[in-house]
Amino acid sequence: MARILVTEKIADAGLQRLRDAGHVVDVRLGLSPEELIGVVPGAAALVIRSATKVTREVLEAGTDLVVVGRAGIGLDNVDVEAATERGIIVANAPQSNILTTAEHTMAMLLAQARNIPQAHAALISGRWERSRWEGVELADKTLGIVGLGRIGKLVAQRAHAFGMRIVAHDPFVDPERARQLGIEMTSLERLVEISDFLTLHVTKTPETINLIDRDLLARAKPGIRIINVSRGGVIDEEALAEAIRVGHVGGAAIDVFAEEPTTESPLFELPNVVVTPHLGASTREAQDKAGITIAEQVVLALEGEFVPFAVNVAAAEASETVRHFLPLAERLGQIYTALTEQVPKVLEIEYAGQIADSDTRILTLSVLKGVFGAVTDEPVSYVNAPRIAAERGVEVRDTSTATAHDYVNLITISGGGHSIAGTLVGLRGDPRIVQLDGHTIDLPPAEHMLVVRNEDRPGMIAHVAGVLSEAGVNIDDMHLGRSARGEAALQVIATDRSVPPEVQERIRAGEGIVSVHAIG
């Protein structure tokens, strides 16, 4: 059970999901920065939206923090670098509001094209201004999209339905793939030169701050209209206001601002500008999805499981194939460390077979979680495992090969004179340990295990079984490891409980016993 600090309103279903997982949910709305620093100590998780500023100072005060969960997409209010340094997972809900944001973009596009807010304000004020607020059609106009991610693609689909021509700029999108969607890829400079409407769908990074600046606006097609429902600060608001005042830019529809909340902007005084107070994700459906999604991510993080939407974990986007191997990879790491008793300076991890075709970086992190979990006092996560390895001077070498002679897939950990390998078998993907220090075995990785190395001579199995029986320890499963020469010099035993140290010593005292290692 952990304390989860929630500083902004999220869906009740999300809060209930946290409670159902057995955690204490501490809801504190409207905290000042100083108050947040005062209440975050003792919290294992911090759940926020866009208003709470999770600074380095907050993270340093949160000495027990395992995860920061953002119920939404943008993370410019979280010091992700500082969280990563401290091994804190930062997760968001990237798919919760994509549809809502795309729909709001289309609403802003139409409002800008047809001057709907201005006409409404004039009419309810007693002015019939039909000729003043004449609009333009979307059909046959060119829509430029900056950022062709999930939201950008949804906007493109909807704009196609209005008969618009779509061009886009995104350095990470394959032009051929875009062409199949009916979208022409081009440079940012050419995009503004040919677009009648321009919409932004980018995250706020050092590279995108003031992306649309005075120089770029000067190159834009005269009369261009600009929509921003992405992040504040990616447009130079002063430069945009000036370009609208002189008539070079035809208008703008802005949902996000450099400073939020705000009631002042040079854009507010311009009649051909439509503004909303960051409503892009503000629908009941999106808020419900965001709350439930982030609750699920937080629960996974607190349980030490894989967090699909962690933003500061290398290769967090793991394929479904790879995810099945995560528990096995971590358990192999745990067993390996128990056998070696210390982590070697060089740790080698090999992925063989079909799994080698996938991105296996998250599996390496899972192995490191298992390896270092038993040798350090701090919690080991997918975030801080590489840092712990570096601090301990451990070089991690991971390789992949399409060839796995005896198995469809195989994960092997080796180094320091020891090795262990495992795979998944059968339709249900049951985990198996199939090799240990050069001996072939076939045993599920149980919670409690005993590994006994002995001379290849009669009486070894009887001795071990007899000591366990006298101690009241049941044997759930057992396998004899065979070396390449056929020697039965290894016993791997699954027990119903942890084998006490004094029982291990009695086994070691037997003639012909080389070593005894208890796992779990």
> Domain-by-domain residue ranges, the chain?
3-95+285-302, 98-275, 320-519
d(CA 185, CA 266): 32
* Predicted local distance difference test score (pLDDT) of residue 342: 80
Q: How many CB atoms lie within 10 A of CB 226?
A: 27
For residue 91, report the phi and psi dihedrals to the nearest 5 degrees: -125, 150
**Contacts of residue 227, Cβ cutoff 8 Å, sequence gap at least 6:** 105, 108, 109, 112, 197, 198, 199, 200, 252, 253, 254
d(CA 330, CA 462): 32
Residue type, 262: T
d(CA 430, CA 425): 5
Q: How many CB atoms lie within 10 A of CB 235?
A: 28
Written as six digits, the tokens of 151 are: 């939201």
Class of domain 320-519: alpha beta
Query: Which residues of the chain fall short of a pLDDT of 50?
Result: none
Selection from 187, 185, 189, 136 nearest residue 163 by Cα: 136
Q: How many CB atoms lie within 10 A of CB 267?
A: 18
Q: Looking at residue 477, what DSSP letter applies?
A: E
What would the 3-class secondary structure string for 52-63 be? CCECHHHHHHCC
Is CATH 2.20.25.10 the classification given to domain 3-95+285-302?
no
Selection from 24, 64, 25 nearest residue 43 by Cα: 64
d(CA 360, CA 358): 6
The SS3 call for residue 21 is: coil
* Predicted local distance difference test score (pLDDT) of residue 217: 98
Rounded (5°) CA angle 379-78-67 = 25
Q: What is the CATH number of domain 98-275?
A: 3.40.50.720
Written as six digits, the tokens of 165 are: 């021509």
d(CA 429, CA 175): 38
DSSP H or E stretch at residue 5: strand 3-6
d(CA 144, CA 458): 79
d(CA 181, CA 146): 16
Selection from 244, 211, 243, 216 nearest residue 228 by Cα: 211
Fold match flag (98-275 vs 320-519): no
In DSSP terms, 347 is beta-bridged to: 396
**Contacts of residue 115, Cβ cutoff 8 Å, sequence gap at least 6:** 133, 134, 135, 272
The SS3 call for residue 101 is: helix
**Tens of pLDDT along 133-165?**
999 999 999 999 999 998 999 999 999 999 999
Which single residue is written with the structure tokens 């999106």?
Answer: 286
Quick check: pTM over 0.85?
Answer: no
DSSP letters of 31-90? --HHHHHHH-TT-SEEEE-SS--B-HHHHHH-TT--EEEESSS--TTB-HHHHHHTT-EE
Residue type, 412: T
Which single residue is written with the structure tokens 């194939």?
Answer: 321
Written as six digits, the tokens of 97 are: 């509001």
* Predicted local distance difference test score (pLDDT) of residue 340: 85
* Predicted local distance difference test score (pLDDT) of residue 120: 97
d(CA 91, CA 303): 14
Alpha carbon separation from 155 to 17, 99, 146, 189, 227 (Å, rounded): 32, 9, 11, 21, 12
**Tens of pLDDT along 261-285?**
899 999 999 999 999 999 998 899 9
Q: Which residues are catalytic?
A: 231, 260, 278
d(CA 384, CA 390): 10
